[in-house]
Amino acid sequence: MSDLARRSLLTGATGIAGGSLLLSGAGRAAAAPADDIQNILSAAVAWRETAAERDMLYRQGFNIARDRIDAVLRGRGQTRRGDKPLAVICDVDDTVLSADTYWVRLVAAGKQAFDDALWDKWVIENGPTATAGAVEFTRYAESRGVEVFYVSSRDQGPDTQRYGVGNLAHVGLAYADDAHCTFLRESSNKEPAQKAIAETHEVIAYLGDNLNDFRRTYYVKSVAQRKVLAGEDAEEFGRRFILFPNNTDGHWVGAIFGESEPADTPAYRERMLQAALNQVP
Ligand SMILES: [Mg+2]
């Protein structure tokens, strides 16, 4: 191990101690030695919170989207009568809105799996922040006459749409209005909404953190099959499909567990370890 790695570990230990203070405030694990503090989400959430690389993956994705807009507009030259207006379709969570602060709340509360009640509270409180470069990208698209549509699956009851549009507007994203936002409460199948947009607009890019944001055919519950299906479309990625990172949740979790939001049980923890060891088909 390099000195740098050792120093990093020491720095990490300080962070863990800070975490234990936070937990003790909630009456949990007050004097737990660092070795006893275990949360299977710690490393994933630490990366979300601290990695400059993650921010730059978002910047990279939005730069690609911006280049794509420029290239299509150059190709079109003068706008021709009869052309459909241009559009991009964005997923919301972990695409243009970051769920970082939700995951921090979750880990600070000592939870080790997705928690619906905590998520809904966070949505309603306008917890989401913008991902790196998202606001600039949507404003750039708007400046070039390219409409941004948002298609998301969320369910916070009858006011889901209002909360969702409010989250987008709160951080300053362009096109944060009902005409450009679809929040699906009953299904994660985005294709009908995406096809409706494509009837009136030329969709030049899809942005998302989940394969399901690009094609419904990727919606399968097999780790290996998802890889095969995505691999068949490899040429689309970084072009028409612009993918952002999400190491805490999504259908990749569903492929491991059979459901995207498994409850925290001993079997869940055991299966996560199996997945880490690449023992889940
Ligand atoms: Mg998402």
The pLDDT tens digits for 127-142 are 999 999 999 999 999 9
Token digits of residue 13: 């230990």
Domain ranges of the chain: 1-37, 51-276
Distance, CA 245 to ligand 1 centroid (Å)?
9
User: pLDDT, tens digit, for every residue of 208-228?
Assistant: 999 999 999 999 999 999 999
Concatenated DSSP letters of 18-43? HHHHHHHHTTSSTT--GGG---TTHH
The rounded distance, in Å, linking the Cα atoms of 66 and 91 is 16
Distance, CA 153 to ligand 1 centroid (Å)?
8
Distance, CA 170 to ligand 1 centroid (Å)?
18
Please list the residues that pair with 152 across neighbouring strands: 183
Domain 51-276 in this protein, CATH class: alpha beta
pLDDT confidence tier of residue 83, bands split at 50, 70 and 90: confident
Calculate the average pLDDT of the chain.
89
pLDDT confidence tier of residue 3, bands split at 50, 70 and 90: very low
CB 132, CB 58: distance < 8 Å: yes
The rounded distance, in Å, linking the Cα atoms of 113 and 127 is 19
Q: Is 165's pLDDT higher than 70?
A: yes
Distance, CA 134 to ligand 1 centroid (Å)?
13
Distance, CA 141 to ligand 1 centroid (Å)?
20
Which amino acid is it at 35?
D
Distance, CA 59 to ligand 1 centroid (Å)?
16
Token digits of residue 106: 């979750």
User: pLDDT, tens digit, for every residue of 231-257?
Assistant: 999 999 999 999 999 999 999 999 999
- Between residues 260 and 121, the one the model is more confident about: 121
Distance, CA 162 to ligand 1 centroid (Å)?
18
Mean pLDDT of 188-195: 96
Q: Of all residues in the chain, what percent carry a pLDDT higher than 90?
A: 81
User: pLDDT, tens digit, for every residue of 85-138?
Assistant: 999 999 999 999 999 999 999 999 999 999 999 999 999 999 999 999 999 999
Distance, CA 173 to ligand 1 centroid (Å)?
16
The rounded distance, in Å, linking the Cα atoms of 85 and 41 is 43
Distance, CA 212 to ligand 1 centroid (Å)?
9
Tell me the range of 32-36, 75-79, 230-234 where mean pLDDT is highest. Answer: 230-234
Distance, CA 201 to ligand 1 centroid (Å)?
22
Token digits of residue 22: 């936070």
Distance, CA 95 to ligand 1 centroid (Å)?
6
Distance, CA 146 to ligand 1 centroid (Å)?
21
pTM: 0.87
Q: Is 1's pLDDT higher than 50?
A: no
